[in-house]
């Protein structure tokens, strides 16, 4: 890889504040919307909360995504009137369902809430007595089959369901019995259990099958991909690749199961998922996000995202011993990512060192590194990074679709500032 000459003169660190003095801050994808004057003080500055550059991606810990103006406007319009929530859910759900050819849909407070409400619906149905008794599942079908344990199975267990883990199709066949309420499958993370065959088995045995596709978008067509598998239910996050409200998820599926999921949540008092409230603004905002996303030119967006990563790659790969490569994932979050590599031992700089320097410096920058902060408990503080199809080897990785215009200059400058001394040491040794 071609190396540039090192510039030895030290310049003041480039910060977000210094950068914004010389340019307007463009708030949305690709700089396609009107600029916001740099002089406008953000609400977070007034609150004394640091804003950050999000190179980690659409994760809840870092507030997921930024909504386009179309979604903001729809939510503002929704806030101007009172409405009956169930009527709104059914009207919006009918429109959402048409985008993918599903029977019905509803908006939940996130994809984790979709899982919980779907589970409650499959256990209790719409029977008021059963709905009011959850998480007491006595006398009901209460077993849910999964293919591996994950943080998201808490949404299943809170309904009173018993988790049954299977690792093969033979185990799935044996696990299904008169108490089986549902099977839940995390899209792209299921090892030896084949999706199509698992769906076929559950259909033959009369067991509702749900796909968790939370981070499947973009691009928008992945919604139709999920629908094409023929599961009884599937969900996506509204606040990730679709760029809707962070507190939203969309559950698609059979009309009877969607109605049951709705009945086991807000606004019905006494339902187990009543605390997972989704408001009229989020319901309308989720629809606006799907409509907005359906009109995007995915290839054009990728070109914009790649151009930002190319700037970072050019900046850091000018340092001896540092390599940078753009790659795409093949299962979920299919946007350009930048793999950044160096020899941690030779540099005397670990990924943890780099991450902390980015996190505590100015500006605050987050990158992907396999060291998530979202889990309540992690037995191994530095687990081995499981590779997905299409992933590149990396020490750190930068996700493109959560970078705002201009962020690439700040990220490149900070990485160069952190990596250059380590690169120099490695070269001298």
pLDDT digits (tens, 9 = 90+) for 79-95: 999 999 999 999 999 99
In this prediction, residue 369 carries a pLDDT of: 82
The number of C-alpha atoms within 13 Å of 412 and in the hemisphere containing its C-beta is: 20
SS3 253: strand
Q: Computed over its alpha carbons, how large is the radius of gyration of the chain?
A: 23
What mean pLDDT is predicted for residues 342-359?
Answer: 96
* Number of other CB atoms surrounding residue 70 within 10 Å: 18
> What is the chain's mean pLDDT, rounded?
88
How does pLDDT run across 256-266, given as a tens digit for each residue?
999 999 999 99
Backbone angles phi, psi at 120, to 5 degrees: -60, -40
Alpha helices in 15-158 (DSSP H): 16-22, 43-47, 69-78, 85-100, 111-124, 128-133, 154-157
In this prediction, residue 300 carries a pLDDT of: 97
Q: Of 23 and 69, which is predicted with more confidence?
A: 69
In this prediction, residue 354 carries a pLDDT of: 96
List the beta bridge partners of residue 367.
Answer: 55
Spatial neighbors of 87 by CB under 8 A, at least 6 apart, are none
Task: Spell out where 242-389 has E strands.
Answer: 249-253, 323-328, 336-341, 364-367
In this prediction, residue 332 carries a pLDDT of: 76
Residue that the structure tokens 């629809």 belong to: 287
What mean pLDDT is predicted for residues 404-429?
Answer: 96
C-alpha 9 chain-centroid distance: 41
In this prediction, residue 373 carries a pLDDT of: 60
In this prediction, residue 15 carries a pLDDT of: 53
Tokens matching residue 285? 């905002």
Task: Give 183's DSSP letter.
Answer: E
Percent helix, percent strand, percent coil in the chain, to nearest 5: 40, 15, 45
Spatial neighbors of 300 by CB under 8 A, at least 6 apart, are 30
Do residues 118 and 134 lie in contact, with contact meaning Cβ atoms separated by under 8 Å?
Answer: no
255-263 and 85-100 helices, crossing angle to 10°: 150
In this prediction, residue 383 carries a pLDDT of: 39
Answer whether residue 426 shows pLDDT above 50: yes
State percent of the chain over pLDDT 70: 86
In this prediction, residue 39 carries a pLDDT of: 62
SS3 186: strand
SS3 327: strand
Rounded CA-CA distance 58/63 in Å is 8
Answer whether residue 389 shows pLDDT above 60: no
Answer whether residue 123 shows pLDDT above 60: yes
What are the distances in angstroms from CA 398 to CA 2, 106, 153, 385?
21, 33, 28, 15
How does pLDDT run across 200-216, given as a tens digit for each residue?
999 999 999 999 999 99
In this prediction, residue 374 carries a pLDDT of: 60
Answer whether residue 2 shows pLDDT above 70: no
Spatial neighbors of 43 by CB under 8 A, at least 6 apart, are none
298-316 and 407-428 helices, crossing angle to 10°: 30
Answer whether residue 277 shows pLDDT above 70: yes
In this prediction, residue 381 carries a pLDDT of: 39
Task: Give 65's DSSP letter.
Answer: -
Q: Of 127 and 370, which is predicted with more confidence?
A: 127
What mean pLDDT is predicted for residues 416-422?
Answer: 97
Rounded CA-CA distance 224/307 in Å is 28
Do residues 243 and 292 lie in contact, with contact meaning Cβ atoms separated by under 8 Å?
Answer: yes
Answer whether residue 102 shows pLDDT above 50: yes
**pTM score:** 0.86
What mean pLDDT is predicted for residues 268-285?
Answer: 97
What mean pLDDT is predicted for residues 151-170?
Answer: 96
How does pLDDT run across 283-301, given as a tens digit for each residue?
999 999 999 999 999 999 9
Least confident of 166-175, 276-285, 324-333: 324-333
Closest CA to 74 of 345, 284, 374, 346: 284
Answer whether residue 5 shows pLDDT above 90: no
What mean pLDDT is predicted for residues 105-134?
Answer: 98
What mean pLDDT is predicted for residues 12-26?
Answer: 46
Do residues 302 and 335 lie in contact, with contact meaning Cβ atoms separated by under 8 Å?
Answer: yes
Answer whether residue 65 shows pLDDT above 90: yes
Answer whether residue 343 shows pLDDT above 70: yes
């Amino acid at each position: 890889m071609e190396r540039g000459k090192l510039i030895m003169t030290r310049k003041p660190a480039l910060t977000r504040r210094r950068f914004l003095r010389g340019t307007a801050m463009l708030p949305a994808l690709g700089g396609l919307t009107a600029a916001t004057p740099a002089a406008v003080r953000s609400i977070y500055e007034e609150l004394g909360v640091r804003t950050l550059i999000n190179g980690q991606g659409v994760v809840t810990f870092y507030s997921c995504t930024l909504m386009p103006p179309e979604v903001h406007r729809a939510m503002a319009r929704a806030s101007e009137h009172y409405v009956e929530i169930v009527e709104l859910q059914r009207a919006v759900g009918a429109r959402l369902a048409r985008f993918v050819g599903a029977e019905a849909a509803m908006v939940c407070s996130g994809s984790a809430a979709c899982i919980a409400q779907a589970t409650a619906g499959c256990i209790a149905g719409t029977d008021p007595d059963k709905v009011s008794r959850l998480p007491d599942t006595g006398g009901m079908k209460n077993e849910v089959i999964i293919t591996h344990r994950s943080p998201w199975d808490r949404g299943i267990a809170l309904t009173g369901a018993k988790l049954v883990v299977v690792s093969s199709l033979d185990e799935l066949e044996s696990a299904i019995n008169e108490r089986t309420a549902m099977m839940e499958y995390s899209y792209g993370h299921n090892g030896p259990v084949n999706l199509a065959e698992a769906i076929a088995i559950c259909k033959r045995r009369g067991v509702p099958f749900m796909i968790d596709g939370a981070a499947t978008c973009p691009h928008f067509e992945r919604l139709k991909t999920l629908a094409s598998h023929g599961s009884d239910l599937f969900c996506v996050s509204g606040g990730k690749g679709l760029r809707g409200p962070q507190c939203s998820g969309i559950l698609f599926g059979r009309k009877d199961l969607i109605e049951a999921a709705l009945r086991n949540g807000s606004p019905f008092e006494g339902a187990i998922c009543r605390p997972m409230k989704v408001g009229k603004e989020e319901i309308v905002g989720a629809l606006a996000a799907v409509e907005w996303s359906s009109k995007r030119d995915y290839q054009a967006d990728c070109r914009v995202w790649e151009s930002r990563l190319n700037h970072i790659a050019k900046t850091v790969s000018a340092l001896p011993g540092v390599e940078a490569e753009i790659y795409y994932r093949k299962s979920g979050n299919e946007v350009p990512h930048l793999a950044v590599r160096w020899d941690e031992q030779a540099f005397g700089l670990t990924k943890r060192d780099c991450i902390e320097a980015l996190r505590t410096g100015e500006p605050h920058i987050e990158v992907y590194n396999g060291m998530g902060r979202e889990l309540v408990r992690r037995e191994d503080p530095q687990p081995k990074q499981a590779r997905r199809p299409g992933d590149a080897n990396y020490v750190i990785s930068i996700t493109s679709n959560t970078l705002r215009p201009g962020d690439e200059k700040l990220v490149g400058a900070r990485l160069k500032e952190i990596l250059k001394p380590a690169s120099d040491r490695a070269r001298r040794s």
